[in-house]
Amino acid sequence: MLRRREVLAAGALALAGLKSQRATAADEVVVGVLYALSGASAQNGVDARRAFETALDVINESHDLDLPAAKGAGLEGLGGAKIRLVIADHQGDPQKGRAEAERLITQDKVVAIVGAYQSSVSATVSAVCERYGVPFVCADSSSPSLSRRNLKYFFRPAANDEMFSAAMFDFMDGLRKQGKAIDSISLFYEDTIYGIDSSNVQRKLANERGYKIAADVKYKSNSPSLTAEVQALKSAGADVLLPTCYTNDAILLTKTMGELGYKPKAIIAQAAGFSEKSVYDAVGDKLQGLISRASFSLDLAAKRPSVGIVNEMFEKRADRDLNDNTSRQFTAMLLLADALNRAGSTDGAKLRAALAATDIPGTRTIMPWKKVVFDAGGQNPDATPVLIQYVGTKFVTVFPESAAVAPAIWPMNA
């Protein structure tokens, strides 16, 4: 009898343990995060991790912030469930991204994936998500073509390069009206979907708005040398250089320009590498006055307290301020949490419907956007870009006038 009681007791304990495991599982919502944690873009992946950790702090704990999913601990629409991240390394390789996305979906059972910095990787990963009916929130890849593939599970809260480039040309048009001599531009772009899409947009805008394209230079991403390319840019002598490149290439471009004595009147960058702290740590002395397009302006903290509070939270983890990339990553995770709350479910179709119905005023984000809504392609058309200029050791917002805290220094070496 005693032995039978022991067996029954053991069985009861095992059953209780199984129920406990199920209860624990029900208290979690698993979200996949895909970034390069090794290779040339590893630092971006490290910073992205810190941005998502900051977002999880806001979501999983209670904060008195006027931001989506901030008030109340956990996901109120799912009974207070906490988000748990599974972070995977795509190494900047689209095929590695494909494999990791499938693993996250089929093995880790993620309800959504957020990523992936490189547009080429986001293109592949979002196609995998579409096939499985799992939402893909494109935090920071800006290629316009990503939102033109008739995907139903693709959502991009931030601007694309058409929107960013239009802001650049609006800015140059405004300077022209002030009497600045800006007649020609040079395009410099890497050979993946990010660089090619960006150059196509900028080429079209230049032709429409009457800017001569003095040089049109495509280069191989992660090239060991850019000497020939920079010599071509220098010979062209355009008024403005428009570079589209990632971190290592941005450093190499800047160093090569210094070695060859190439100093354009102005550089207006398509962010990416030119938004990274590591670039300015390496060659910041050569980039005084550089202007970059951006989704984020730390200057907004003067008007919106949540910006400064979130930046402090991030800075404690990353030992650096939020930038164009990390601000978008943080915001993407909060928007996903908001959709989970409204869906009240982790079902892919229901979560997709909640994301599609998103309508959040820009004032309830840390971004200088009008609002967050999604069109039929999953693009937010109201993600208002800004232009920021590197002055001293920080960026200041110079465009548009409604967000600017200082006039632009023009030319950049003035």
Whether a cis peptide bond, with omega within 30° of 0, leads into 116 is: yes
Give the C-alpha separation, 264 to 267, whole Å.
7
The whole-number average pLDDT for the span 254-264 is 96
Residue 358 and residue 342 share a domain = yes
Residue type at 125?
A: V
Residue 21 and residue 141 share a domain = yes
How does pLDDT run across 76-104, given as a tens digit for each residue?
A: 999 999 999 999 999 999 999 999 999 99
**Alpha carbon of 260 to those of 215, 281, 362: distances in Å?**
17, 21, 44
Please give the tally of structural domains in the chain: 2
| DSSP-derived secondary structure for 294-334 | ES--GGGGGT-HHHHHHHHHHHHHHSS---HHHHHHHHHHH
Confidence of residue 271 (pLDDT cuts 50, 70, 90): confident
Residue 102 lies in a domain: yes
End-to-end CA distance of the chain: 93
Residue 324 lies in a domain: yes
Residue 404 lies in a domain: no
Residue 279 and residue 327 share a domain = no
What's the pLDDT score for residue 5?
39
What's the pLDDT score for residue 39?
86
Confidence of residue 19 (pLDDT cuts 50, 70, 90): very low
Tell me: pLDDT of 1 over 70: no
Residue 173 sits in a domain of what CATH number? 3.40.50.2300
Confidence of residue 26 (pLDDT cuts 50, 70, 90): low
Confidence of residue 293 (pLDDT cuts 50, 70, 90): very high
Residue 199 and residue 65 share a domain = no
Residue 167 and residue 72 share a domain = no
Classify 346 as helix, strand or coil: coil
DSSP class of 408: P
Give the C-alpha separation, 264 to 1, whole Å.
91
Among 275-284, 314-323, 331-340, 372-381, the minimum mean pLDDT is found in 275-284
Tell me: pLDDT of 9 over 80: no
Residue 313 and residue 207 share a domain = no
Average pLDDT, the chain: 92
Confidence of residue 3 (pLDDT cuts 50, 70, 90): very low
| DSSP-derived secondary structure for 152-179 | SSEEB-S--HHHHHHHHHHHHHHHHHTT
Residue 207 and residue 63 share a domain = no
Tell me: pLDDT of 12 over 60: no
Residue 221: Cβ within 10 Å count: 18
Q: Which of 230, 225, 188, 202 is nearest to 144 (CA)?
A: 202
Residue 179 dihedral angles phi and psi, to the nearest 5°? 100, 5
Residue 138 and residue 124 share a domain = yes
Contact of 151 with 378, CB cutoff 8 Å: yes
Give the C-alpha separation, 371 to 364, whole Å.
8
User: What is the layout of strands, in order, in the sheet containing 240-244?
Assistant: 212-219, 184-190, 240-244, 266-269, 291-294, 386-391, 394-399
In the chain, % helix, strand, coil (3-state, to 5) comes to 50, 15, 35
What's the pLDDT score for residue 83?
98
Whether a cis peptide bond, with omega within 30° of 0, leads into 411 is: yes
Residue 344 and residue 322 share a domain = yes
Angle (nearest 5°) at CA 257 between 198 and 223: 60
| DSSP-derived secondary structure for 215-278 | EEEEE-TT-S--HHHHHHHHHHT-SEEEEE--HHHHHHHHHHHHHHT---SEEEE-SGGGG-HH
Q: Which of 390, 392, 388 is nearest to 400 (CA)?
A: 388
Residue 84 lies in a domain: yes
Confidence of residue 414 (pLDDT cuts 50, 70, 90): low
Contact of 182 with 155, CB cutoff 8 Å: no
Residue 86 dihedral angles phi and psi, to the nearest 5°? -115, 115
How does pLDDT run across 221-231, given as a tens digit for each residue?
A: 889 999 999 99
Residue type at 201?
A: V
Residue 361 and residue 395 share a domain = no
Confidence of residue 44 (pLDDT cuts 50, 70, 90): confident
The whole-number average pLDDT for the span 227-238 is 97
Among 28-37, 186-195, 205-214, 267-276, the minimum mean pLDDT is found in 267-276
Residue 395 and residue 367 share a domain = no
The whole-number average pLDDT for the span 274-278 is 86
What's the pLDDT score for residue 277?
86
Give the C-alpha separation, 66 to 312, whole Å.
16
Range of the domain at 233: 162-294+387-399
The whole-number average pLDDT for the span 126-144 is 96
Residue 103 and residue 177 share a domain = no
Tell me: pLDDT of 132 over 60: yes
Residue 5 lies in a domain: no
- Count Cα neighbours of 143 within 13 Å in the Cβ-side half-sphere: 24
Residue 48 makes CB contacts below 8 A (sequence gap 6+) with 33, 35, 117, 139, 325, 326, 329
What's the pLDDT score for residue 273?
83
Contact of 318 with 50, CB cutoff 8 Å: yes
Residue 213 lies in a domain: yes
Residue 235 lies in a domain: yes
What's the pLDDT score for residue 24?
37
